[in-house]
């Protein structure tokens, strides 16, 4: 049995206990209703927890600090790979994507969506602008970037710890196709 636990810094014991009980119950229901179908996808610690009609829910062990302080090295996350979840992705959501320049499904990145198709992304004076409007997702940016227009059916992603992040600013093609999104990360508010 694989237990799913989402660790977020700054939450109290009561909240963590509730979260743990909820994730244990969800895991038990998923195993009971759908059956245990765990497939090890790769050596990067991503596993399928539930698979039904090609719709997948993953749990992911985070390795790295590119999403600090939102997500820490060693956190375990749930990624919803259902069509509904991916179709509902919007600015500010955190997603798991296939690493673009590697062209293999064995490497994944966790990033925040800051731009959707047609958006103009620009970083100037250490601040992020989307379509000319300042957006604060908690990042401070060292270098200016853009302006860049996100391609159709794509997103633009950044790491929250963007000084230490492999993201759209460094990809050969900064636009990440929606087809390269593995799942939407589900975090408690």
Mark whether 135 is an active-site residue: no
Whose tokens are 């990042």? That residue is 139
Query: Which one from 66, 165, 168, 175 is the annotated catalytic residue?
Result: 66
Long-range contacts (CB closer than 8 Å, 24 or more residues apart) made by 49-57: 49/2, 49/4, 49/78, 55/81, 55/82, 55/83, 56/81, 56/82, 56/183, 57/30, 57/81, 57/82, 57/183
Query: Which one from 27, 96, 111, 168 is the annotated catalytic residue?
Result: 111
CA trace torsion 91, 93, 94, 100 (10° rounding): -40
Cα→Cα distances 189→6, 9, 11, 175, Å: 11, 12, 10, 28
Mark whether 111 is an active-site residue: yes
Whose tokens are 């927890």? That residue is 49
Nearest-angstrom CA–CA distance, 141 and 150: 19
CB 185 within 8 A of CB 96: yes
- Please list the active-site residues: 66, 111
């Amino acid at each position: 049995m694989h237990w799913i636990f989402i660790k977020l810094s700054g939450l109290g014991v009561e909240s963590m206990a509730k979260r743990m009980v909820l994730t244990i119950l969800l895991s038990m229901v998923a195993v009971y209703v759908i059956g245990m179908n765990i497939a090890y996808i790769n050596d990067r610690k991503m596993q399928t927890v539930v698979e039904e009609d090609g719709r997948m829910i993953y749990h992911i062990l985070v390795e790295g600090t590119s999403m600090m302080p939102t997500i820490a090295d060693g956190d375990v996350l749930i990624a919803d790979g259902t069509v509904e979840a991916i179709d509902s992705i919007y600015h500010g959501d955190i997603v798991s994507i296939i690493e673009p320049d590697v062209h293999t499904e064995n490497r994944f990145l966790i990033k925040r969506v800051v731009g959707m198709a047609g958006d103009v992304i620009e970083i100037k004076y250490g601040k992020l602008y989307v379509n000319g409007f300042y957006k604060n997702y908690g990042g401070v940016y060292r270098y200016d970037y853009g302006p860049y227009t996100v391609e159709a059916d794509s997103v633009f992603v950044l790491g929250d710890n963007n000084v230490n992040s492999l993201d759209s600013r460094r990809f050969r093609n900064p636009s990440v196709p929606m087809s390269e999104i593995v799942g939407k990360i589900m975090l408690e508010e």
